[in-house]
């Protein structure tokens, strides 16, 4: 039995990528399809970090081609993360393809823990990831990543980020005493944070996750206007009262044209560390309700679990401390949704357009 180009294409159109919800052809993942002398070679390129997804997608595409009559088809699956558009009028960074802000309308909801685990989950799936701790009033990434000291400068102009668990990290906490920042005026905070972002020598990042300061005040609005953001993730707890706060966060990003990629509901359900019994302390379905009312996607819900806190305090967040745990799977699923949403966004062609040259004929 032989197979034609058309039937090979049709077979691939019948394979749905579970992460994007689109088939391999409609989702433009098939980059090359070669049917020659009875042999089939196909190159599939995924736009998100997909280490754990490569084998299942390869297997599904192979099975579909075999079912359509191909003999021993060669299916190559790779990933390529490209830069995406940012808000209008803001210059992108050459060494960072996509910047994702993790924000919360108020403190203590688990924004920093979520940022750390999101960064680690993206790295675990094979992406090049950085984490910028801009939480000027309570920088906690040095503790969570077990990093201390001050970043060094090799060229006298930029700081080399520190690194642990495969993630490049810089934190305002490495540079200033948090007590000092509390008295700073807004513009000074914004200047310090943008400098921290721009003067770090990030090494070829697919994603930079920014752990933003909590709140939705002037500092956040200025940051959202100045930092070239691909999108924002908002962390919230499930209480009804959090809806009002979260709405403020969504409105702020909307105002400056930054897409809200979705909401993460943290501490959604309490898991007893002794017996595993689960209890919805704040009522069930809060995150879903919040996301629905605000018209944004619920990216995932994390339980209130002792392990998540213990791991973070011990300098080894859950994704690296317990890579096979249920919580890690939840963080990874959130990371995949974030990455797919970023991949779906309009691509950034600003670096490819020729510059406009104005010349005089006189
Ligand atoms: N899902 C969770 N289960 C249990 N503890 C959690 C969870 N998420 C966060 N925590 C704990 O809650 C506390 C606050 O979390 P975190 O520092 O991440 O919040 P934050 O929103 O960044 O706070 P801040 O506004 O102070 O920066 C920490 O002790 C953290 O370990």
Q: Are 238 and 268 in contact (CB under 8 A)?
A: yes
ipTM above 0.95 for this complex:
yes
Q: Is 236 left (phi over 0), alpha (psi -120 to 50) or beta?
A: beta
231 is in an annotated binding site: no
Contacts of 303 (CB under 8 A, 6+ apart): 267, 268, 269, 270, 271, 278, 327
Q: Which segment of 106-110, 174-178, 338-342 scores lowest on mean pLDDT?
A: 174-178
Mean pLDDT of the region 184-204: 90
Residues 39 and 139 in one domain: no
Instruction: Retrieve residue 69's tokens.
Output: 């009559």
Strands across the sheet with 270-271, in order?
Answer: 278-279, 270-271, 304-305
Please report the pLDDT score of residue 58 as a whole number: 97
| 110 in a labelled binding site | yes
Determine if residue 106 is labeled as part of a ligand binding site: yes
Is the same domain home to 182 and 284? yes
Q: Is 105 inside a domain boundary?
A: yes
Checking if the pLDDT of 346 tops 90, the result is: no
**Residues 135 and 60 occupy one common structural domain:** no
Residues with CB under 6 A from ligand 1: 104, 107-113, 135, 138, 140, 214, 266-267, 302, 304-305, 308-309, 312-313
pLDDT at 283 over 60: yes
Q: Over 50: is that where the pLDDT of 355 sits?
A: no
Q: Which atom of ligand 1 is nearest to the CA of 327?
A: 1
Express each pLDDT in 204-227 by its tens digit: 999 999 999 888 888 888 888 889
Residues 113, 71 share a domain: no
Q: Can you give the residue range of the structural domain that contains 54?
A: 5-79
351 occurs within a structural domain: no
The answer as to whether 100 is a domain residue is yes
Same domain, 30 and 159: no
Q: Indicate the number of domains in the chain.
A: 2
Shortest-distance atom of ligand 1 to CA 135: 27
193 & 329 share domain: yes
Residue 86 resides in a domain: no
Q: Could you tell me if residue 357 is inside a domain? A: no
Is 277 found in the same domain as 128? yes
Q: Which CATH number goes with the domain that contains 121? A: 3.40.50.300
Residues 316 and 190 in one domain: yes
Report the helix count and the strand count for the chain, using DSSP H and E: 13, 14
Q: Tell me: do 22 and 47 sit in the same domain.
A: yes
Same domain as 35, residue 62: yes
- Confidence band, pLDDT 50/70/90 cuts, at residue 38: confident
pLDDT in tens, 56-108: 999 999 999 999 999 999 999 999 999 888 888 888 898 999 999 999 988 88
Residue 267 lies in a domain: yes
Q: Which tokens hold the place of 293? A: 């009312």
Q: Are residue 279 and residue 328 in the same domain, yes or no?
A: yes
User: Is 13 or 353 the better-scoring residue by pLDDT?
Assistant: 13
Structural domain contains residue 359: no
Is 358's pLDDT higher than 70?
no
CATH code where residue 35 lies:
3.30.300.130
pLDDT tens sequence across 287-336: 788 888 889 999 999 999 999 999 999 999 999 999 999 999 999 999 99
- Classify residue 213: in a domain, yes or no: yes
Nearest CA to ligand 1 atom 6: 309
Q: Are residues 129 and 32 in the same domain?
A: no
pTM: 0.91
Scanning the structure block, which residue is given the tokens 């005026």?
A: 185
Separation in Å, CA 308 to CA 59, 110, 209, 319: 34, 10, 19, 9
């Amino acid at each position: 039995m032989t197979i034609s180009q058309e039937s090979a294409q049709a077979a691939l159109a019948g394979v749905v990528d579970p992460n994007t919800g689109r088939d391999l052809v409609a989702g433009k993942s098939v980059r090359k399809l070669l049917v020659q002398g009875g042999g089939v070679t196909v190159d599939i390129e995924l736009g998100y970090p997909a280490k754990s997804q490569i084998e299942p997608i390869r297997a599904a595409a192979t099975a579909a081609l075999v079912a359509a009559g191909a003999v021993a088809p060669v299916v190559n699956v790779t990933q390529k993360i490209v830069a995406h558009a940012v808000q209008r009028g803001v210059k992108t960074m050459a060494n960072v393809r996509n910047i994702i802000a993790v924000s919360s309308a108020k403190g203590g909801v688990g924004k920093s823990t979520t940022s750390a685990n999101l960064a680690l989950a993206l790295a675990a799936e094979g992406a090049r990831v950085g984490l910028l701790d801009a939480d000027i009033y309570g920088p906690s990434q040095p503790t969570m990543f077990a990093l201390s000291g001050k970043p060094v400068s090799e060229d006298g102009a930029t700081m080399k980020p520190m690194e642990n668990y495969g993630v490049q990290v810089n934190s305002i906490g490495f540079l200033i005493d948090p007590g000092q920042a509390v008295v700073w005026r807004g513009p000074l905070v914004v200047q310090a944070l943008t400098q921290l972002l721009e003067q770090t020598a990030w090494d070829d990042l697919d994603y930079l996750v920014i752990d933003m300061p909590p709140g939705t005040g002037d500092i956040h609005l200025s940051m959202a206007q100045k930092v070239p953001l691909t999108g924002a993730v908002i962390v919230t707890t499930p209480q009804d009262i959090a809806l009002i706060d979260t709405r403020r966060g969504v409105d702020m990003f909307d105002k400056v044209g930054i897409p809200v990629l979705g909401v993460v509901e943290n501490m959604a359900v309490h898991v007893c560390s002794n017996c595993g019994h689960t209890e919805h302390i704040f009522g069930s379905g809060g995150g879903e309700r919040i996301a629905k009312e605000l018209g944004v996607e619920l990216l995932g819900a994390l339980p209130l679990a002792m392990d998540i806190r213990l791991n973070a305090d011990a300098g080894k967040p859950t994704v690296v401390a317990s890579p096979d745990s249920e919580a890690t799977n939840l963080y990874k699923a959130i990371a995949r949704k974030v990455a797919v949403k970023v991949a779906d966004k309009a691509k950034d062609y600003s670096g490819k357009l020729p510059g406009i040259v104005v010349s005089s004929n006189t």
